[in-house]
Structure 1
Amino acid sequence: MIARKIAFSAAGVTMVASAVLASAASAKDEPLVLRPSTEWNLQFAEDSCRLQRFFGEGKDRVALVIDQYEPGDLFSMVVAGRPVKKLGRTAKPSPVSIQFGPSDASFEPEAWFGDLGELKPAAIFMYAVLGPWTAEQRGEPAAEQGDETIDVLARGFTAEDAARIEWLELKKNKSIRLATGPMGETVKGLQICMADLMARWGLDVEAHRKLTRRAQPLNDIDDWLLDRDYPIMAVRAGSQGMVHYRLIVDEHGKPVDCSIQGATEPADFSKVTCARLIRRAEFEPALDAEGQPIKSVFLSSVSFVIDW
């Protein structure tokens, strides 16, 4: 499937025993806290803006990798290293609670489990956000824009919001807490990187700060990739994966270029994704502040999942 969420004397003994049990339970529920072991590293990659930092030491060393492929709040995220075993590795994608705390509520995106080079295992999230998980990010219909223009590069969760972050906590069977500290400056860096990235895609960055319409699919996005498109060798091998893709959509609504911004193995997933999207995707073009068609971009992801 291809898928685009006591009485005092005797009681004294009992009370002591209860307190010990409660203390043990409390300790069991406490997260494993890992402090930073490196500074943040921001990479202006060819197809993404990548933030990376390591936490913990020795066997508890963990990598946090944030890849932003598109303007806005969404990004993909990998947390990799031996402590990730505490979450409970599963063969199929499963929800893991994420919280950038302490101010914002947790949310539960699906995590894939794999490896990140020598760091094993890895929890891989196709989509994550620093702030609250909004209705639009959950795939629900977006609110009407009215006559307002759209700033494609704007973030709902600002650098000022990110400055309140103290840690990132992941929780499933047990909890891991990465002491990130305030992330305001890192978000500012991501904004600079994303504007640079759009310019390198050949897009008018300033015009994309005042669009009256984004590039919008004309046909059903679920029809762009069908079950029969699942690479046969991947089916036989039981391989599953995900692909982040970018379509450049011209002034006539035609996708003229497809690029893979990030993908899991095997490479067949990437090949079939671009081949089918260029052939099947249809769009209404983006419109600038004057309502004129403009070359723009459409970014999304697809997951390849086998129904066992």
Structure 2
Amino acid sequence: MRQRPMLGGAASAVAAVLLVLSSASALAAPKVREPTAKWTVETQANECLLVRSYGSPRNPLFLALSEAPMGAGANATILYNREWALFGSGDATVRFDGGEPSEVWYSSRLLWNLSKEIKTLTMRSVVMGMDSDSHKLLTNAASVAFDVPGEVKIAFALPEHPAALKALDDCATNLGVKWGYPVEEQRRIAKPPRREKGFRGLFTAADYPVEAMKAGRMGRAHVRLRISDTGAITECSILRSSGNAELDNATCRILTERATFEPARDVEGKATRGVVVTAIRWIMMG
């Protein structure tokens, strides 16, 4: 059967959190999971990760919060054991300390487990984009709950959370310095660059590179976009390759040609340069 190319985009990453989901219509809240390990902070090319285990080697469960420098992207991610399932996306809800639910956008996919310590072959990754309001509520929350339809409904206790978030913020600031943005400049940014509709509609099936499609190449290209004070992309850098040069090149070419942004704003409301971090997923489905 001939394969049909499809594309999926991931939203930008910013100071973030991995959360528990609790349905707005549920009669009973899910049991709050207690952590089974300490928070750990990891620096990656495109973001910083704050990760904690809430499970065991035979029944793994992780909450991960990601943050990119200067508000360039924030996500909450839940990793749990699940058998194979198709990609998923849609609306989910999150609650902090049992408060009012807030809507978030999620995407999910299957991951192959490469850790010898975790006794399972595959894991499910559910990534949720976090806005600045959610991040503020998260800062002092004692628990967080998520309800992701068709995926997971779960709540996490957040002991030692404020100190862990501070470590995540410091990590993101240091990463920003490595990207060429002094600490003082980072702190002056009040609003990061943004697109009203995100990256939806920028890519079409016709954009799939022909040779990559013939070879059945798929992958996710993580990129950093430098945005000028006029909202134009001045540089697109591959932070984590999709595994295929054609897909990487097409990602930057299409974004640079088609994407424009509302520029970042400093504390005085003036347009200034900024950065956006995102991931574009190239997939083919028959």
Shared fold (TM-score greater than 0.5)?
yes
Q: Give the number of the structure whose alpha-carbon radius of gyration is greater.
A: 1
Corresponding residue number in structure 2 for 1:248 = 226
After superposition, residues 1-308 of structure 1 pair within 5 angstroms as 1-4=6-9, 31=30, 34-72=33-71, 74-82=73-81, 84=82, 90-95=85-90, 97-104=92-99, 105=101, 107=103, 109-118=105-114, 120-129=121-130, 155-157=132-134, 161-172=138-149, 175-181=153-159, 183-210=161-188, 215=193, 224-232=202-210, 235=213, 242-250=220-228, 254-262=232-240, 268-282=246-260, 286=264, 294-304=272-282, 306=284
After superposition, the Cα gap between the structure-2 partners of 1:198 and 1:172, relative to the gap in structure 1 and judged at 3 Å, is same
The structure with the greater share of residues assigned to helix is 1
How far apart, CA to CA, are the structure 1 residues paired with 2:158 and 2:267? 39
How far apart, CA to CA, are the structure 1 residues paired with 2:149 and 2:112? 20
- The count of corresponding residues between Structure 1 and Structure 2 is 256
Helix, strand or coil for the counterpart of 2:103?
coil
Q: Is the 8 A contact 2:35 2:157 kept in 1?
A: yes
Corresponding residue number in structure 1 for 2:21 = none
After superposition, the Cα gap between the structure-2 partners of 1:265 and 1:33, relative to the gap in structure 1 and judged at 3 Å, is farther
Cα offset, 1:49, TM superposition: 0.9
Q: Is the 8 A contact 1:80 1:121 kept in 2?
A: no
Q: Which amino acid aligns with 2:7?
A: I
Cα-to-partner distance string for 1:229-285 (whole Å, 9 max, x where unaligned): 223466457776544422113467653322234576666543321233334445676
How far apart, CA to CA, are the structure 2 residues paired with 1:121 and 1:172? 20
How far apart, CA to CA, are the structure 2 residues paired with 1:114 and 1:2? 16
| Aligned alpha-carbon RMSD (Å) | 4.2
Q: Is the 8 A contact 1:80 1:120 kept in 2?
A: no
Corresponding residue number in structure 1 for 2:25 = none
The structure with the greater share of residues assigned to strand is 2
Which blocks of at least 5 consecutive residues in structure 2 are unaligned? 1-5, 12-27, 115-119
Q: Is the 8 A contact 1:159 1:188 kept in 2?
A: no
Q: Is the 8 A contact 1:41 1:53 kept in 2?
A: yes
Cα-to-partner distance string for 1:184-231 (whole Å, 9 max, x where unaligned): 2222222222222222221244345445886567xx966754432223
Helix, strand or coil for the counterpart of 1:194?
helix
Q: Which amino acid aligns with 2:63?
A: L
Aligned-residue sequence identity (percent) comes to 20
Which blocks of at least 5 consecutive residues in structure 1 are unaligned? 6-28, 130-136, 138-154
How far apart, CA to CA, are the structure 1 residues paired with 2:91 and 2:200? 25
After superposition, the Cα gap between the structure-2 partners of 1:113 and 1:249, relative to the gap in structure 1 and judged at 3 Å, is closer
After superposition, the Cα gap between the structure-2 partners of 1:216 and 1:98, relative to the gap in structure 1 and judged at 3 Å, is closer
Corresponding residue number in structure 2 for 1:151 = none
Cα offset, 1:59, TM superposition: 1.4
Helix, strand or coil for the counterpart of 1:192?
helix
Higher RCO structure (Cα 8 Å, ≥6 apart):
2
Q: Which amino acid aligns with 2:64?
A: V
How far apart, CA to CA, are the structure 1 residues paired with 2:149 and 2:261? 39
Q: Is the 8 A contact 1:207 1:289 kept in 2?
A: no
Corresponding residue number in structure 2 for 1:132 = none
Cα-to-partner distance string for 1:103-148 (whole Å, 9 max, x where unaligned): 342535333221152455433344333xxxxxxx5xxxxxxxxxxx
Cα offset, 1:99, TM superposition: 3.0
Q: Is the 8 A contact 2:91 2:148 kept in 1?
A: yes
After superposition, the Cα gap between the structure-2 partners of 1:243 and 1:126, relative to the gap in structure 1 and judged at 3 Å, is farther
